Chain A
Amino acid sequence: MTEKILLIDDEEDFLAVMSERMKARNMEVSTASSAKEGLEKADSGNYDAVILDLMMPEMDGIETLKRLKEKNPDLEVILLTGHATIKQGVEAMKLGALDLLEKPADINSLTDKIHAAQAKKMLIVEKKNEEMIKKIMATKGW
């Protein structure tokens, strides 16, 4: 199964290379070079995971993360950063980020995290489906 991921980073070069490498690993990758664009794209597509840079101009990673989670609490977000303080890390975790990785990140550990994100999402979707079925069954009188 291919994972559908969204990369948000202000560095175009990084985005291009990263998306190519992800694609080489059988992933469906969309990219956004700003937080605003990323938020728009996240609205339209059903992504398994969002990989988000913490340090960006205009709107930083923490703020973006907050908005993403407001719109879709089930969306899995992995933060990627050149340098994070403990405070930022704790805040990100509080806001529901799946993980925080430091640049330069190892591609393999990143893909592992994406797999984990997808697995988690699948689990949530399954649970939701189950609940929905139960609900329908209950309402229909089965």
Chain B
Amino acid sequence: MSILNQFKPEFWHNSELSTGPFRQMFNYRRIWKIAVLLISLVTLLPLIFITSIDYNFTQKSIDSENLLRTLRIGSNAKRSISFFLSERISALSFVVRTNNLQELSQPENLGIILTNLRDSFNGFVDLGVIDQNGLQINYVGPYPLEGKDYRDQEWFKEIKKKGFYISEVFLGFRNVPHLIIAAKHSLPDGSFYILRAALDTNRFNELLSDFELSGRGDAFLINHAGVIQTPTLYHSQIFEKIPYSVPTYSTHTEIREEKNKAKEDLIICSAFIPDSPYILIIVKKKDDLMKSWRETRFKLIIFLVISISVILLVILGVSTYMVNSMYLLDQRRLSTLHQVEYSNKLASIGRLAAGVAHEINNPLAIINEKAGLIKDIITYTDTGPKNSRIVELIDSVLASVERCGKITKRLLGFARHIDSAIENVQLGNIITEVLGFLHKEAEYRNIAIKINVADNIPEFQSDRGKLQQIFLNIINNAFSAMSDGGCLDIRVWREGESDVVASITDNGCGMSEGDLGKIYEPFYSTKTKTGGTGLGLSITYGLIQELGGKIHVTSRLGAGTTFTITLPLKPANPAKQDS
């Protein structure tokens, strides 16, 4: 809390001060709140709005980009596989047409053809020639398949109709996954023969794995029943059914989204390979595809968070600074108002005092002259009574008149200097003059006053009225801080060439450190209950500053307080003092 308090601006504590003429103009805490709220709204809302639009837009575009890419890869793969198969069928068709049955029946010839096919198109494992009765009449390859009868097999029936055949992948009695392609050649007499070759599925697998499949994509073939034909990366085994739905027939490459058993989002691309029992399937995990998106998203969120914090910090800082400046200006306005009121009051008191003194002075002059006349009559003529007692009484009257005159003169002197005027002053005299107003109180309260003025203090140019006010204030404060029988020590000395210093030390109650920091603040008073305005020291401080001086205070609770006032012997800035 204490750390928080350090950051709390001044207006926070006194936002709702007094009512009446010296009221603050605004509720600063409210202004601050409204400012922060409004600025935050108009700056952060658009930012958040734009960012969320961008967020959605980016997410969507990455999403569709992923779909498109998968679709493209699917189409390419479909074309490649289709081309791979048709290429080999065409080769077989070519061979079967360019060689008659006799030539093909000779094992040497067939061997040469197989070697040539292998050299031109890889993947050929063996080659067999089957006559129209389904009997394999010639065979070259690693297995003893010559004489095998295919008459009742499905593919033999199918090829009779279509002219060529592509089988699904199967193990057969070789126990190795392979597939069969075959091409038929019909002779003009209606008879036909068939060239049949087994293809190694390794070529298929290589072909499929050649496609660049980002995001751990898996490309494989299934047959129309959904049975897996080539090895997959992380799905079921070969010849098992795929764990997804089998796509319905379409001539185009299709793409769809599906969830697997582990509830992961998948993108599944499917393409029917034309003239074959195969469907190409590409499966990608959406999570992996969206990896780049997640990075972008993270950056976006970090950017948002950082910019929001920076904006908020700036808003808070600027609002606080502005409102605090307003508050401080208002405070200054208030204290100026108070000061004006205070000095107006002093000026009226001064004028009143001057009026009273003047009115008293005239009758006093008459008393003086009449008493003087009585004395004259006694001293200068022989007609009056020669009585030394009367002379004594007259002298006493004259002395009283003189004393009265002194009082009115002092009153006038004090009042006269309320108007600002720079003149030659002697600091010692001013302090004595001020003490003249207070010595009665000092006597009653038995307060000892020690004055020690150094001899080398020159007269200097300053404002007598302001100096009187300054010292009256400080000495008055010292008096109220001391209990009866206290001791006030006033010293004046010269410091360096340019300064004169006066220190006023009392042995009164002193002040705590907390009070010490606030004594020059307007309206800060420890005497509010006894009628203090809390303005005395504030005005004193202002006056000393006007005179180009400095005031310093040291105090110990219970031990007393020392005010040290440093005044320049030459006015630092005459223009300032005129104001």
Contact = CB atoms under 8 A, between A and B. Distances in A.
Contacts, number: 65
Contacts of A83: 354, 357-358, 361, 408, 412
Given A17-B373, A24-B381, A104 B401 contact: yes
Nearest to B423: A86
A136 interface: no
Contacts of B362: 11, 14, 82, 103
A56 to B, nearest CB: 11
A86 B405 contact: no
A16 B358 CA distance: 21
Interface in A95-112: 102-105, 107
Contact of A82 (B361, B367, B381): B361
B366 A86 contact: no
A134 interface: no
B361 A20 contact: no
B370 A104 contact: no
B108 interface: no
Interface of B is mostly: helix
A17 B416 contact: no
B516 interface: no
A70 B358 CA distance: 29
A24 B369 CA distance: 13
Interface string B342-379: 00000000000010011101101111111011001100
B234 interface: no
Most interface-central of A21, A103, A104 (chain B CB within 10 A): A104
Contact of B361 (A13, A85, A86, A103): A103
B380 A24 contact: yes
B544 interface: no
Contacts of B421: 86
Category for how many chain B residues contact A: 20 to 34
Interface string A49-90: 000000100000000000000000000000000110110000
Contacts of B364: 103-104
Contacts of B377: 24
Interface in A15-31: 17-18, 20-21, 24-25
B224 interface: no
A102 B354 CA distance: 14
Contact of A104 (B357, B367, B376): B367
B361 to A, nearest CB: 4
A84 B377 CA distance: 31
Interface in B396-424: 401-402, 405, 408-409, 412, 416, 421, 423
Contact of B409 (A13, A20, A25, A102): A102
Contacts of A85: 416
B416 A104 contact: no
Most interface-central of A24, A55, A86, A105 (chain B CB within 10 A): A24
A104 B358 contact: no
A103 B366 CA distance: 9
B361 A105 contact: no
A24 B376 CA distance: 7
Interface in A24-56: 24-25, 55
Given A83-B358, A86-B421, A104-B405, A14 B365 contact: yes
Contacts of B369: 14, 17-18, 21, 104, 107
Contacts of B380: 24-25
A15 to B, nearest CB: 10
Nearest to B419: A85
A13 B366 contact: yes
A20 B412 contact: no
A14 B372 CA distance: 12
Contact of B366 (A14, A25, A102): A14
Contacts of A107: 369, 372
Contacts of B423: 86
Nearest to A83: B358
Nearest to B368: A104
Contacts of A18: 369
Given A82-B365, A103-B362, A21 B372 contact: yes
Nearest to A102: B409
B365 A21 contact: no
Interface of B: 354, 357-359, 361-362, 364-370, 372-373, 376-377, 380-381, 401-402, 405, 408-409, 412, 416, 421, 423
12 contacts: A11-B366, A14-B369, A17-B369, A20-B373, A21-B372, A83-B354, A83-B408, A102-B361, A103-B361, A103-B405, A104-B369, A104-B402
Closest 4 pairs (CB-CB, A-B)? A104-B368, A82-B361, A103-B365, A83-B358
Given A14-B365, A17-B366, 18 more contacts: A11-B362, A13-B366, A14-B362, A20-B376, A21-B369, A21-B373, A21-B376, A24-B373, A24-B376, A25-B380, A55-B358, A82-B361, A82-B362, A102-B409, A103-B364, A104-B361, A105-B365, A107-B372
